[in-house]
Structure 1
Amino acid sequence: MLKMVTIHPLFWMTIGLSILTGRFREMLLLFLVVLIHEGGHAAAALYFRWRVKEIVLLPFGGVAVVDEHGNRPVKEEFIVILAGPLQHVWMIGLAMYLHRIGMMDDMYSLFILHNIMVLLFNLLPIWPLDGGKLLFLLITLFYPFKAAHRLMLRTSIIFLFIMIVMTFYFFPFHLNLWMVIVFLCTAHFKEWKHHPYIYLRFLLERYSKSYVGKKETLSVLPDMKVNEVLSKFSRGKHYQILVQNMDIIADEHLLLEAYFKNNQVGCAVGSLFR
């Protein structure tokens, strides 16, 4: 359940700068655009009964903080991610209609500009922007969750580096853009630092709930360790573990129980059945 809407300190700084420069009205317009964008994410997440903790507003968009850890259906996550950018379609359409009938004149161009900027910026393949989340979702279709998270971060860092270079070259004195870059760099550092815990929550959610996914057989050698097998788990799949040379097939829950309950992290899979 959604608890609160939080304004990030970067947004407060931007609001302060807008007051000093006499552009507070323009900032309120941006605030409205960002709020509706994030509201789209939250509405879609709540529709699918996701646990939405809060909405954090930033100058370029925001982050809908959810208590989900990579085990929701791909289709659901795809819809939740796109629900934010799609808000700009009807907002731009409504603004064009109001402008056409003469009900929106002085703020029309700025409103359209804010929408386009927020939309395009959020579609950049940089974490934690919507484009970065789409990138992560795409990679998880081809790689196990643990490897996909690392690959996404490496790819995202490359695009972030390109963004920094372009900012140096084209907008070296754009203070707001540099504040956003600082936020993105900090977000990457935290995401990389928390990688083990993100992977652990992915596994823990599968263990604590009766995970339903596409049935798939994972063939492993008897001497493979429990944690090595679990690192091969992908989202959207429910595994039956086939232990080679032992003709044993076990549900993934047995390995998850060995990992979390019995502390058999480095235990060979084959020894679990002796």
Structure 2
Amino acid sequence: MFKVWFHPLFIVCIIISIALRKMGQFFILFIIITIHELFHILVSKKFHLTCTKWSIIPVGQMASIKNLEFQSPLKQSIILIAGPIINLSMWGIGSSFFISIENSYIHLFIMANFIIGIFNLLPIYPLDGGRILYGWISHYRGNLCGMKKILKMSRYGIFALQVFGMIQIIFYPFNCSLLLVSFYLMYINKKQKLCSTYELYKLILNKKQYMRKKELFELASCTVIDLNTSFLKILQCFSSSRYTIFLVCHPWTQQVQMIFEMDLIDYILKNGVEGTVRDYLQIQSQQGKN
């Protein structure tokens, strides 16, 4: 079910824009960001994905694409980069054909497209660039590792934004846009760090439903593990965009046993993270005999 959500502070931004007589500039930025998000949605439809929620917040907008995290990193990248590409395309067209027109709103439209397009490609979560990197790292190293690395990278990016934000205030005393955006990004990153365990649990449950519904195993990969591999290690390697088939080699018989990811994950969710693959196989063997 699709819904549009307005943050209460967005209304405050409109009131401030009217009070400062900047409603024209505010409207242009709103249109540019709306087109940016619209292209995320249009491209996602090409991959048979749907937008469930369109959030309008004081510092921008965000389209929530259902099941995006379960797609291959390439599909994720194509969907996420669609927004910046349309911004840079409009900047290119505007610079080529309309820059000579003496109109401040046209010039703002052209330059704002360039700035928004480049800004969204920065490797900062949850900007498009940060989410693209997160998708690729998570696919090969697991969601926990991917989030840890992208949050670390984001800290440096946010610090750089804050430095530029201070410089911006020095030259433009009434313009603190970069600082506001940097503080919002810092808030989102801290919130994401605190909720990382919960987010992983939610991803696991949603992936089970998605795989059961779609029966898609084209992204399956085989990973060799031993009997002493801990359940904690299994969870650390969990990737929402990849289905893993574990291959266990028994040291004495030299036989290779195959374990499906969701079977092992189900066991871990029911019995806890304490234990190893050996414990899982022993339980399965006993149940098989019974």
TM-score w.r.t. the length of structure 2 is 0.81
Could you list the per-position Cα deviations for residues 161-217 of structure 1 after superposition, in whole angstroms to 9, with x for gaps in the alignment?
Answer: 122123223435433332222211111111111111222223223333245243332
Could you list the per-position Cα deviations for residues 21-55 of structure 1 after superposition, in whole angstroms to 9, with x for gaps in the alignment?
Answer: 21111111111111111111122223323242212
Q: How does 1:139-218 map to 2 (within 5 A)?
A: 139-172=137-170, 173=173, 174-208=175-209, 209=211, 210-218=215-223
Identify which range, 116-125 or 87-96, moves more after superposition: 87-96
Is it true that 1:253 corresponds to 2:262 in the alignment?
yes
Describe the SS at the equivalent of 1:84: helix
Aligned length: 271
Is it true that 1:239 corresponds to 2:240 in the alignment?
no
State how far apart, in whole Å, the 2-side matches of 1:2 and 1:98 are. Answer: 37
State how far apart, in whole Å, the 2-side matches of 1:233 and 1:11 are. Answer: 37
Identical residues among aligned pairs (%)? 23
Identify which range, 185-194 or 57-66, moves more after superposition: 57-66
What's the CA shift for 1:133?
Answer: 1.2
TM-score w.r.t. the length of structure 1 is 0.86
Describe the SS at the equivalent of 2:63: strand
Is it true that 1:271 corresponds to 2:279 in the alignment?
yes
Q: How does 1:16-95 map to 2 (within 5 A)?
A: 16-58=15-57, 61-68=60-67, 70-92=69-91, 95=94
State how far apart, in whole Å, the 2-side matches of 1:34 and 1:60 are. Answer: 10
Give the equivalent residue in structure 1 for 2:122: 124
What's the CA shift for 1:94?
Answer: 5.2
Describe the SS at the equivalent of 1:224: coil
State how far apart, in whole Å, the 2-side matches of 1:14 and 1:108 are. Answer: 22
State how far apart, in whole Å, the 2-side matches of 1:270 and 1:211 are. Answer: 28
State how far apart, in whole Å, the 1-side matches of 2:68 and 2:193 are. Answer: 15
As a proportion of its length, which structure holds more helix?
2
Q: RMSD of the alignment, in Å? A: 2.7
Could you list the per-position Cα deviations for residues 103-154 of structure 1 after superposition, in whole angstroms to 9, with x for gaps in the alignment?
Answer: x845221111221121122122111111211221232354222111111111
Describe the SS at the equivalent of 2:61: strand
Change beyond 3 A, Cα 1:114–1:8 = farther
Give the equivalent residue in structure 1 for 2:232: 227
What's the CA shift for 1:64?
Answer: 1.4
Could you list the per-position Cα deviations for residues 213-254 of structure 1 after superposition, in whole angstroms to 9, with x for gaps in the alignment?
Answer: 433322222233333223223354322212232632222122
Describe the SS at the equivalent of 1:203: helix
State how far apart, in whole Å, the 2-side matches of 1:244 and 1:216 are. Answer: 17
- Counterpart amino acid of 1:47? K
Change beyond 3 A, Cα 1:101–1:228 = closer
Identify which range, 10-19 or 35-44, moves more after superposition: 10-19
8 Å CA contact 1:227–1:259 kept in 2: the answer is no
8 Å CA contact 1:10–1:179 kept in 2: the answer is no
State how far apart, in whole Å, the 2-side matches of 1:39 and 1:159 are. Answer: 26
Describe the SS at the equivalent of 1:62: strand
- Counterpart amino acid of 2:47? F
What's the CA shift for 1:7?
Answer: 3.7
